[in-house]
Amino acid sequence: MNQYGYTFRLKIYGETRLMTVEPEHIKAFLATQFENFEKGPVTFDQLHSLLGLGVFNSDGERWKTHRNMTRPFFSRNRISDFDNFERHTENTISTIKARLTQGYPIDFQDVVARFTLDSATEFLFGKDVGSLGANLPYPESSPLANDPSILNHPSNVFVRAFMQGQIHTAFRARFGMLWPLKEIWSDKVSPYRQQVDEFVNPILEERRQHLAAEKPSDDDNEGETFLDHLIKHTADNQVIKDELVNILVAGRDTTASLLTFCIYVLTERPDITERLRLEVLEKVGPNARPTYKIISEMKFLRAFINETLRLYPAVPFDGRTTRSPVVLPQTETQPAYYIPAGVKCLYSVFLMHRRADLWGPDVLEFDPDRFLDERLHKYLTPNPFIFLPFNAGPRICLGQQKALWVRMKDANLA
């Protein structure tokens, strides 16, 4: 980009692609020319083995159907959600302390991935996979590193299948339209999705039977899980399982990424750690638990999370494919761009968040105050598309507000 500018054309394995970090171009992909862009048939084929026909692997009317089916659940703020995430947070901290007491180090990224998987599966399925209870991995130097009782624990089997399915799916995207040549003899993702379904199938059947036997109620759906919500909307088990996996991929990995980078920053910046601690003690106290109202008042914590998302966004790269010929708008640095139909258009939120001309000369400095002081009004307020940790437009993150208060709450308890 230093050589060719913020928007340029490239070829990968003979396939022409567009790459951009221009806010106006990304705005066109996601919002102003939304109808002219889609995930596209190649992306659909790459993701289908893992995500099926879920909301993140759909376009057009099918996407609208899935979006309308899932959106209502994520608009609710329920006390039971607080109970879920608080319980799993405390369990995680206890597990960390127990391992450190044994004299072994921990892999924090692994720990927080287990925390998010357990809390997310309970939130979605009504039953968590219990990955924290499967024991944390030991360092290679330990004789317990290859303990079969740990490696073969059912929840660890689920974790490995879930992760390997995502890894192989990601590699497909690297090869564009030629990806099937890498799997000419067999589908490398399908076996992992089958293992995930083996965990979900009995839970789905149990919940169907439970809801069928349950008497109708006029309550506010306080105890309803995402699985319950889907069962009430469709009798198609495959649609339900696809949707569960889609939301699990989106909710688990992004939260694990953010919490990992939050801790990474706090270990390097004791000044920020102390400032956050003071705000927690002032707003919440040493022993109380936060509420919706308290969380909304914690401005520095919100700014800290936003700054973490700016420098370390959970989805650093993404893309869309043109459904029809389009013209991207002219910018201050580049002319208008004509793009034929069927072209993959890549964009990098990671790189856009690090442009000095968009964020100021201190762009690479970790400074939460940029979301509180005059820099907010100078840079972000007049151009909100320079900050896109949750996507934008009609496909903006379904759980954006829920994700923010959950992460703020977890940071409070930690």
Exposed, middle or buried by CB within 10 Å (0-12, 13-18, 19+), for 220?
A: exposed
Question: How far apart are the C-alpha atoms of 258 and 362, rounded to whole Å?
Answer: 22
Question: Which residues 6+ apart lie within 8 Å of 308 measured at CB?
Answer: 258, 261, 262, 265
Beta bridge mates, 318:
347
Q: How many CA atoms lie within 13 A of 269 on its CB side?
A: 18
How many CB atoms neighbour CB 4 within 10 A?
11
Give the model's pLDDT for residue 405.
53
Give the model's pLDDT for residue 333.
78
Give the model's pLDDT for residue 377.
95
pLDDT (tens, 9 = 90+) of the chain, 414 residues, equals: 889 889 999 988 888 999 999 999 999 999 999 999 999 999 999 999 999 988 888 888 888 888 888 877 776 666 567 788 888 999 999 999 999 999 999 999 889 989 988 988 888 888 888 888 888 888 888 888 888 877 788 778 888 888 899 899 999 988 888 999 989 999 999 999 999 888 888 888 888 888 888 766 655 566 788 888 888 888 889 988 998 888 888 878 888 899 999 999 999 999 999 999 999 999 988 888 888 788 889 999 999 999 999 999 999 999 999 999 999 998 887 889 999 999 999 999 999 999 999 999 999 999 999 999 999 999 999 999 999 998 888 888 776 665 555 555 555 544
Question: How far apart are the C-alpha atoms of 348 and 366, rounded to whole Å?
Answer: 19
Question: How far apart are the C-alpha atoms of 17 and 132, rounded to whole Å?
Answer: 42
User: Whole-structure pTM over 0.75, yes or no?
Assistant: yes
- Would you tell me the crossing angle of helices 237-268 and 190-213 to the nearest 10 degrees? 110
3-state secondary structure of 214: coil
Give the model's pLDDT for residue 222.
60
Residue with tokens 């790189």: 351
Tell me how far CA of residue 238 lies from CA of 117, 200, 213, 243, 388, in angstroms: 21, 11, 22, 9, 32
* DSSP per position, 390-413: T--GGG--TTHHHHHHHHHHHHHH
Distance of alpha carbon 353 from the chain centroid: 17
Under a CB-based contact definition with an 8 Å cutoff, are residues 411 and 93 in contact? no
How many CB atoms neighbour CB 400 within 10 A?
12
Identify which of 27, 15, 18, 19 has the alpha carbon closest to the alpha carbon of residue 351: 19
Residue with tokens 């109708």: 216
Under a CB-based contact definition with an 8 Å cutoff, are residues 55 and 66 in contact? yes
Per DSSP bridges, beta strands 344-348 and 15-20 are: parallel
Give the model's pLDDT for residue 413.
45
* DSSP per position, 164-190: HHHHHHHHHHHTGGGGGGGGSSS-SSH
Under a CB-based contact definition with an 8 Å cutoff, are residues 399 and 123 in contact? no
How many CB atoms neighbour CB 61 within 10 A?
8
In the sheet that holds 317-322, the strands lie side by side as 7-12, 15-20, 344-348, 317-322, 37-38
What tokens were used for 97? 């302390």
Under a CB-based contact definition with an 8 Å cutoff, are residues 189 and 50 in contact? yes
3-state secondary structure of 109: helix
Residue length of the chain: 414
Q: How many CA atoms lie within 13 A of 253 on its CB side?
A: 15
Under a CB-based contact definition with an 8 Å cutoff, are residues 384 and 396 in contact? no
Residue with tokens 């340029």: 8
Under a CB-based contact definition with an 8 Å cutoff, are residues 298 and 278 in contact? no
